[in-house]
Structure 1
Amino acid sequence: MKIRAAIDADLPVLARIYLQGRRDIFTWQDHASFRLEDFAEQTAGEAIRVAEDGDAEVTGFLSVWEAENFVHHLFVADGHRGTGTGRALLEDLRSRMPGPFRLKCIVANTAALDFYRRLGWTVAGHGEAEGSPYLLMEWGKLPAGLLRRAATDADLGFLWELHVLTMRDYVEQTWGWESLWQEENFRKFFDFTVMEILEVDGEPVGAISVEDQEDRLYLRNIEIHPAWQNRGIGTVLVTEFIELARAKSLPARLQVLKVNPARRLYERMGFELCGETETHFLMEHPVQE
């Protein structure tokens, strides 16, 4: 695969990719309003890079408003989606320009949202344009090379080791620590379906679990390996958690052990005490428009 600057001869092909992509993806919009001419209007003044395969066929494009590091469009031709074209275009961008970069992803475009988040993009805000809610996403706030993926049963060993490294001291201060019981209990209640693994160069470095409950967005767990702490990862991910809750018009809630100093971070980020148990503080970030 080759990534290069677009030339005039590419423009008719790119217009067709753009038109077909919108028809395929934006199923909630009126397709009758989509025109080939839209491509030229929507990318005016932007830097356009294209991907081409081994047969020199153009398979996708990315357009950027360089003055603001804003990724305006990323489209891949039908038949080439899922082949790494979109990722290659983004990696080319990062190799040529300093970040961070921003883009807007329509909330209804869940496949794109999952794609960007897997590559390390994080939600930094939300809004609405032409009646469609969107999430403002940033790339470059997390350490370079940090990706995330869905957890599987195969991650259980790593997650237990991570839990011991990050939480044992606080658990021991609260209840005491009996290793065999702790591990059995951890494995008993392990639920990978709502958990993401953070990786750098294929090595797991942390985990986060967010649950979309009926009346709240709930941060079940966030643990960063000690070797990767104090690099802003937790702050960026909690900010994303808050913004996702805002986009859903839900409060963001969590609980933290009373002996865990992470409470101070949550307070700095706007969480307020909304209750407590014998062992935990219950905290909430209120809904804000």
Structure 2
Amino acid sequence: MAEWEIRPAAAADVEAVAEVRAVVMRPDLERLGRYDGHLVRQRLRDAFAPEHTWVIESDGAVAGCVALRPAEDAHWLEHFYLTPHLQGGGIGTAVLRELLDRCDRDGLPVRLNVLQGSPARRLYERLGFTLETEDPVDVFMRRDPATAAPPRMVL
């Protein structure tokens, strides 16, 4: 696995994160006939909340991000992007497991949406997310908090 670290986002990270989003989402959005380079960056800028976002760095450069937005009945996993050359090396799984452990301690489910046909869906399913609903563009998924196994009775 490549060397990486995760840190809290700052407002100054928005442009670097918007660029990562545009690169990562381009193949799926082109496949769906929905890619617009300006719009894909602007949507990130408009939704960027540094207080709920972490930046993933590798070799001293921004390599991705992830946001975990609290809601009344769940956490929303949003803006989870990792540059293509680092995908498939275990970084995304490690980052996601760390965040899911935090959510499990809170006892709240985690919700997300992923584009139809995105390979990221396999990662989410592997980590316990299940389908809630879908439309022609998005798949909405949910993961209930993991619970500890009941204690064993000692005889």
SS of corresponding position for 1:288: coil
Q: Distance in 1 between matches of 2:128 and 2:83?
A: 24
Q: Is the 8 A contact 2:74 2:110 kept in 1?
A: yes
Deviation, 1:199, is 1.6
In 1, Cα distance between equivalents of 2:37 and 2:144:
37
Other-structure match for 2:150: none
Match of 1:163 among 5, 21, 46: 21
> Which residue does 1:278 correspond to in 2?
136
Matched with 1:252 is 110
**Structure 1 residue aligned with 2:153:** none
Mapping 1:187-206, distance limit 5 Å: 187-206=45-64
| Structure 1 unaligned spans of 5+ | 1-141
**Residue 9 (structure 2) aligned to one of 151, 160, 172:** 151
User: Structure 2: how far apart are the matches of 1:184 and 1:249?
Assistant: 33
When Rg is computed on C-alpha atoms for both structures, the one with the higher figure is: 1
1:268 aligns with 2:126: yes
What is the match of residue 86 of structure 2? 228
Q: How does 1:203-218 map to 2 (within 5 A)?
A: 203-218=61-76
Change (3 A) 1:288 1:228: closer
TM-score, normalised relative to structure 1: 0.47
- Structure 2 unaligned segments of length 5 or more: list them: 148-155
Which whole-Å CA distance do the structure 1 matches of 2:114 and 2:71 have between them? Answer: 18
What is the TM-score when the length of structure 2 is the normalising length?
0.82
Q: Deviations over 1:213-268 (max 9, x none)?
A: 22112111211112222210111122222222211111122111112121122112
Q: Secondary structure at the match of 1:270?
A: coil
Partner residue in 1 for 2:152: none
Distance 1:206 1:190, change over 3 A: same
Q: Which amino acid aligns with 1:248?
A: D
For 1:1-289, what aligned pairs fall within 5 Å after superposition?
143-144=2-3, 146-289=4-147
CA drift at 1:174: 2.6
Aligned to 2:38, what secondary structure does the other structure show?
A: helix
Indicate how the Cα distance of structure 1 residues 270 and 197 shifts in structure 2: closer, same or farther if over 3 A, else same. same
Separation in 2, partners of 1:183, 1:229: 20
Q: Identity, % of aligned pairs?
A: 29
Q: Is the contact between residue 241 and residue 252 of structure 1 (CA under 8 Å) also seen in structure 2?
A: no
Which of 1 and 2 has higher RCO (CA within 8 Å, sep 6+)? 2
